[in-house]
């Protein structure tokens, strides 16, 4: 067992070092060695679902084979882990940035650099290996650097700390969160002025924002008002803080904010101030501080917009259970949906909530058949639809919970999870994640302008109906992907956060509809328009698989859950086309980023297991767009192939995927990937791809227009090219499994087996009549195969195709 740990009384730099070490040792478990600081506790709680950090009391020390220690070398600062340091079978690895002392561990590999923070120390090795960091990893790492360098003011700060901090910003580190969790200490001579500001201030509650504004009159200039402002932000737990300090007929205004909605530079613009949205200042002369105070309050009310609230980010409708549901059934539901907690509802009223941890404990103690009401927590911490996101974040952190039910009129209408909160914190990065700076509005407008008028008219109609019905509508699937890639695609798939069938019936009143087909069970509808276009509408839904390759079970959900059930990130984007945000690109899973970087990436680790058809689909998209498989995606694909999941694909679905590949413009890359991953071998198809296979493919693709003129589909020639070396028995077996008609199977099987004899005879025929009678009963698919497989007789086949084949006897 591999363990990553740090020192007792853990600070943010030690905590960040643990998270970063996980990038270098992905198989290791994160374990706290002892007590942790308040800010570490809050950050760890916010990210607990992602990090899964354990306590030392949860670990069997005897099973440890590798111990990675970060941010300390002192044996007396690692708790009970010191008891295994000297064991011969335990490998020790240390990453530290402190000066050496007599209590340092001398054993093992030691990576020590005397720089400002240990986070910087580990980042050096991460970047040397060209490893990427996620948004949250970069944010936590930046917290570590900020804390141990005193926001780059401590003497131990080095240029490397600043360099790595800038790199973290490129990886999406969130400075707002860094500011929130990193504390500055006040000096003794600043405490009095700090307390005066606190005592003389007032709190303004405006659109769910909490703003503290205060003023005092002093005798001399204070240069550290920014530190005091940050400390007041911590103490008052507010979204923004304004300090007014008057001295010698001068007034200094210092403002700090942790909310992206509060633009401090705009508020202080009237006072000839400036700065950034989150940190700004102003300086005034010869004006009364009380007058400035009142004017500033008015500006705050004018410039601060309504905050985002729960109803805009909550998931709805909510999956819940009844109080008499058995523990084992709740466990199954949680596994299917990937939930870590679920509300308990009786007669539409929430009466409790139960976590995955409690369920696991109940099962462990043999209470699988007990009702969930016996183990649920009845103390439900709820919020209203109008609760601000900032307040929701505080509720989750302070109460150490993973989700907050949203209640209206005593009824459960939604739920907000840690993930929802984090997604909002990184909203801009989730929506359009691209290495270079791009204005989202420009992208949105450009996307819409690519559609022809007949498509835009449909979207406008959907927008109007969505406003009437107060339901959100999204354009989803391949059409969004292809739109970004400038590929024409008119497959209009719409997801409605509501009743898609009723939405489609209302849509009939504003569009020229020829026919409508509905499916009540799945809440889907297909509209056939007079102009020849079709619109597929579906209610947003969540799908889960009871066992691999089974048909999915459907439950209704929100758009983010609907997109999560898709196959790959590049297919999990949506364009909002309703009255609320017409044209907004929705990209929860970084599909745009993967599209720009030409990567095929699955949405979750079990994707290929749940639906092995995605293995073939991954190859198809990689070939079609000339993309590569993302590293982990390739790993899981290979694993699924090796474990035999390809053989769980139905032949009908396999046939459809292969035909789609053969219909693409450039299927050759797919063939190479089939070879690379031994796809045909694992499918027990005795197909041998050779250089001549690629030669024939290239000729078919080059001459596909000619082939189509003779009423032959080019993909059919490519398919029989793949199967041309099989014996009659195997050939007929595959064709039967693929569902081809007997007549087709018979003529193709005979033709493939006879192609060599036909080619041999054709070599010695020179008269047109002889060529005609030899080929007149041979299927054209086989004739084209012979033509491209035997170039020495190609001219004779051309004579038949161009001059002789239409001669009637």
SS3 call for 743: helix
pLDDT at residue 244 greater than cutoff 90: yes
Give which of 462, 481, 464, 482 is closest to 473, Cα–Cα: 462
Look at residues 55, 112, 103 and name the one whose alpha carbon lies nearest to residue 77: 103
Per-residue confidence at 436, pLDDT binned at 50, 70, 90?
Answer: very low
Range name among 207-211, 496-500, 795-799 with the lowest pLDDT average: 207-211
The model's confidence at residue 208, banded by pLDDT at 50, 70 and 90, is low
Read off the pTM. 0.52
Distance in Å from the first CA to the final CA of the chain = 81
- Say what the pLDDT of residue 548 is: 43
The predicted pLDDT at position 188 comes to 66
Least confident interval from 28-37, 77-86, 328-337: 328-337
- Top pLDDT among 560 and 455 is at 455
More confident residue, 561 or 104: 104
Instruction: Name residue, tokens 């004018």.
Output: 302
Judge contact between 116 and 145, C-beta under 8 A: yes
Question: Lowest-pLDDT range, 123-132, 158-167, 616-625, 646-655?
Answer: 646-655
User: Is residue 133 over pLDDT 60?
Assistant: yes
- The arithmetic mean of pLDDT across residues 322-348, rounded, is 84
Q: Which of 334-338, 588-592, 769-773 has the lowest mean pLDDT?
A: 334-338
Q: What is the pLDDT of residue 184?
A: 59
* Least trusted range by pLDDT, from 158-167, 329-338, 348-357, 549-558: 549-558
pLDDT in tens, 686-699: 788 888 889 999 99
pLDDT tier for residue 116 given thresholds of 50, 70 and 90:
confident
CA distances 137 to 51, 180, 403, Å, are 10, 16, 22
Integer Cα distance of 62 and 741 in angstroms: 65
Mean pLDDT of 633-649: 88
Taking only the tens place, the pLDDT of each residue in 564-606 is: 888 999 999 998 888 777 888 888 888 988 999 999 999 887 7
Percentage of the chain beyond pLDDT 90 is: 31
Give the span between the Cα atoms of 100 and 402, in whole angstroms: 41
Is the peptide bond between 317 and the residue preceding it cis, with omega within 30 degrees of 0?
yes
Q: Which of 128-132, 174-178, 443-447, 804-808 has the lowest mean pLDDT?
A: 443-447
- b/e burial code for range 398-434 (CB count within 10 A of at least 16 → b): eeebbbbbbbeeeebbbbbbbbbbbbbbbeebbbbbe
The confidence score (pLDDT) of residue 729 equals: 79
Q: Which residue matches tokens 């103690």?
A: 365
At residue 527 the predicted structure's pLDDT band, cuts being 50, 70 and 90, is very high
Q: How large is the average pLDDT for residues 729-747?
A: 81
Q: Using a CB cutoff of 8 Å and minimum separation of 24, what contacts does 658-662 make?
A: 658/616, 658/719, 659/715, 659/719, 660/620, 661/616, 661/619, 661/620, 661/623, 662/714, 662/715, 662/718, 662/719
Listed range (130-139, 267-276, 581-590) with the worst mean pLDDT: 267-276
What value does the mean pLDDT of the chain take?
A: 84
Task: Please determine, for residue 277, whether its predicted confidence score (pLDDT) is greater than 80.
Answer: no
Q: What digits encode the pLDDT tens for the residues 700-724?
A: 999 989 889 888 899 988 988 888 8
Distance CA 309, CA 518 (A): 35
């Amino acid at each position: 067992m591999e363990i990553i740990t740090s020192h007792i009384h853990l600070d943010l730099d030690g905590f960040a070092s643990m998270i970063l070490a996980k990038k270098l040792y992905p198989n290791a478990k994160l374990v706290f060695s002892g007590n942790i600081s308040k800010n570490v506790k809050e950050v760890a709680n916010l990210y607990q679902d992602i990090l899964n950090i354990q306590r030392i009391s949860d670990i069997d020390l005897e099973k440890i084979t590798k111990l990675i220690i970060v941010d300390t070398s002192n044996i007396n600062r690692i708790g009970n882990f010191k008891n295994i340091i000297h064991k011969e079978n335990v490998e020790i690895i240390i990453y530290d940035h402190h000066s050496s002392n007599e209590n340092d561990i001398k054993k093992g590999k030691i990576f020590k650099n005397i720089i400002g923070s240990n986070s910087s120390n580990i980042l050096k090795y991460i970047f040397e290996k060209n490893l990427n960091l996620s948004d949250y990893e970069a944010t936590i790492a930046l917290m570590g650097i900020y804390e141990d360098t005193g926001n780059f003011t401590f003497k131990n700060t080095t240029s490397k700390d600043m360099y790595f901090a800038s790199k973290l910003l490129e990886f999406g580190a969130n400075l707002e969160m860094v500011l929130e969790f990193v504390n500055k200490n006040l000096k003794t001579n600043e405490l009095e002025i700090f307390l005066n500001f606190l005592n003389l201030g007032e709190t303004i509650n405006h659109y769910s924002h909490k703003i503290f504004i205060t003023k005092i009159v002093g005798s001399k200039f204070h240069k550290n008002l920014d530190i005091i402002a940050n400390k007041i932000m911590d103490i008052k737990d507010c979204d923004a803080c304004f300090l007014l300090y008057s001295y010698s007929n001068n007034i200094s205004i210092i403002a700090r904010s942790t909310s992206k909605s509060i633009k401090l530079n705009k508020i202080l613009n009237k006072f000839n101030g400036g700065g950034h949205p989150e940190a700004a200042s102003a300086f005034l002369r010869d004006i009364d501080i009380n007058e400035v105070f009142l004017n500033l309050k008015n500006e705050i009310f004018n410039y601060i917009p309504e905050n985002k609230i729960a109803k805009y980010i909550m998931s709805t409708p909510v999956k819940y259970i009844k109080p008499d549901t058995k523990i084992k059934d709740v466990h199954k539901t949680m596994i299917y949906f990937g939930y870590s907690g679920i509300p308990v509802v009786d007669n539409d009223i929430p009466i409790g909530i139960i976590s995955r941890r409690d369920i696991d404990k109940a099962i462990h103690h043999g209470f699988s058949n007990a009702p969930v009401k016996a183990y649920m927590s009845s103390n439900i911490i709820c919020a209203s639809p109008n609760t601000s996101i900032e307040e929701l974040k505080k509720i989750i952190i302070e109460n150490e919970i993973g989700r907050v039910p949203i209640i209206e009129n005593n009824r459960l209408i939604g739920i907000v999870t840690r993930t929802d909160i984090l997604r909002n914190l990184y909203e801009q990065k989730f929506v359009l994640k691209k290495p270079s700076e791009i204005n989202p509005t420009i992208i949105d407008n450009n996307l819409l302008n690519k559609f022809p008028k007949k498509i835009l008219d449909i979207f406008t109609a959907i927008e109007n109906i969505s406003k009437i019905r107060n339901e959100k509508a999204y354009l989803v699937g391949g059409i969004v992907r292809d739109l970004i890639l400038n590929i024409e695609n008119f497959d209009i798939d719409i997801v409605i956060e509501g009743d898609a069938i009723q939405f489609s019936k209302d849509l009939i009143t504003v569009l020229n509809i020829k026919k409508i087909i509905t499916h009540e069970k799945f809440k889907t509808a297909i509209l056939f328009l007079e102009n020849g276009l079709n619109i597929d509408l579906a209610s947003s839904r969540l799908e889960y698989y009871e066992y691999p390759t089974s048909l999915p079970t459907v439950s209704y959900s929100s758009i983010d859950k609907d997109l999560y059930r898709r196959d790959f990130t590049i297919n999990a984007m949506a364009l909002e086309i309703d009255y609320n945000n017409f044209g907004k690109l929705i990209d929860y899973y970084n599909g745009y980023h993967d599209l720009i970087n030409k990567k095929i990436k699955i949405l979750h680790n079990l994707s290929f297991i749940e639906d092995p058809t995605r293995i073939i689909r991954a190859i198809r998209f990689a070939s079609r767009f000339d993309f590569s498989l993302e590293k982990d995606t390739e790993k899981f694909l290979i694993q699924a192939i090796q474990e035999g999941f390809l053989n769980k694909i139905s032949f009908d679905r396999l046939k459809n995927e292969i035909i789609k590949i053969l219909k693409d413009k450039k299927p050759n890359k797919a063939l190479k990937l089939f070879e690379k991953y031994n796809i045909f071998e694992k499918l027990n198809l005795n197909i041998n791809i050779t250089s001549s296979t690629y030669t024939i493919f290239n000729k078919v693709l080059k001459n596909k227009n000619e082939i189509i003129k003779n009423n032959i589909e080019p993909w059919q020639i490519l398919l029989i090219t793949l199967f041309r070396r099989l014996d009659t028995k195997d050939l007929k077996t595959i064709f039967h499994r693929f569902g081809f008609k007997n007549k087709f199977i018979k003529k193709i099987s005979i033709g493939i087996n006879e192609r060599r004899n036909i080619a041999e005879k054709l070599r010695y025929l020179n008269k047109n009549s002889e060529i005609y009678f030899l080929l007149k009963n041979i299927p054209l698919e086989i004739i084209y195969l012979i033509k491209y497989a035997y170039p020495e007789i190609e001219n004779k086949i051309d004579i038949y195709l161009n001059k002789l084949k239409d001669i009637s006897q």
